[in-house]
């Protein structure tokens, strides 16, 4: 399987870490690197957590349990009023623009930051709106927090909503894991579907 060549993140990783947990906060759009990559390739890859979560089909799985050349990981929640839907739509659209042979080498995993409400059934219904092949992970909140921390996604409970629920505060970047479960690239929410599709094809063909 392909092992990605790691490169300097051009400061984006430091920016993400400095920002910490954000309630769907804006992030600066990145210019493409000399290699033509629009996301930020990390010079110090993230090691995905082995904390046990549960898939929408009831199987036990951790972020580290990857079985494809590239796994896109996004942390969000089904009640998210804005950015989560935007990011998920971008991912879904990007994958439709990737060459079919390469598309088969890409998985997408959505990890809920609101496991109290996002059980397997709720997650499955949510993800099916974007792509039935997308996988969802839920489970104990502590495991979700640990999993997020491993890929620099900060998760915490936010303010109470008038509905009685609560706004979940979380980072909003997408992480690309390689075949070894190492996070090699990060995309901010401002990436376009076309740019992400281009990055995916570049990562899988070089």
Rounded CA-CA distance 177/3 in Å is: 10
> Crossing angle for the helix pair 193-205 and 83-96, nearest 10 degrees?
50
**CB atoms closer than 10 angstroms to residue 150:** 21
pLDDT at 35: 67
Q: Is 84 a known ligand-binding residue?
A: yes
pLDDT at 1: 41
Give the CA angle between residues 113, 42, 14 to the nearest 5°: 70
* Fold assignment, 12-28+36-205: Glutaredoxin (3.40.30)
pTM of structure: 0.84
Low-confidence residues in the chain, pLDDT < 50:
1-29
pLDDT at 142: 93
41-85 confidence digits (pLDDT tens): 999 999 999 999 999 999 999 999 999 999 999 999 999 988 999
Parallel/antiparallel/unpaired status of strands 155-160 and 135-138: unpaired
Q: Is 24 a known ligand-binding residue?
A: no
pLDDT at 206: 87
Buried/exposed 39-63: b ≥16 CB within 10 Å, e otherwise: bbbbeebbebbebebbbbeeeebbb
Q: Is 8 a known ligand-binding residue?
A: no
């Amino acid at each position: 399987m392909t092992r990605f060549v790691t490169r300097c993140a051009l400061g984006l990783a430091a920016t993400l870490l400095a920002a910490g947990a954000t309630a769907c906060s804006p992030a600066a759009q990145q210019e493409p690197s000399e290699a033509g990559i629009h996301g930020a390739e990390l010079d110090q890859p993230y090691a995905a957590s082995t904390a046990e979560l549960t898939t929408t089909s009831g199987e036990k799985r951790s972020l580290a349990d990857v079985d494809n050349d590239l796994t896109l990981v996004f942390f969000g929640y089904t009640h998210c009023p804005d950015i989560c839907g935007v990011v998920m739509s971008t991912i879904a659209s990007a994958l439709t623009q990737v060459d079919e042979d390469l598309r088969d080498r890409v998985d997408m995993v959505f990890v809920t930051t609101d496991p109290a409400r996002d059980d397997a059934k709720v997650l499955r219904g949510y993800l099916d709106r974007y792509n039935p092949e997308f996988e969802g992970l839920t489970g104990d909140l502590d495991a979700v927090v640990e999993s997020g921390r491993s890929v620099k996604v900060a998760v915490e409970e936010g303010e109470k909503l008038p509905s009685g629920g609560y706004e979940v505060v979380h980072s909003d970047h997408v992480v690309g894991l390689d075949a070894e479960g190492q996070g090699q690239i990060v995309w901010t929410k401002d990436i376009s579907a076309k740019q992400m599709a281009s990055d995916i094809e570049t990562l899988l063909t070089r």
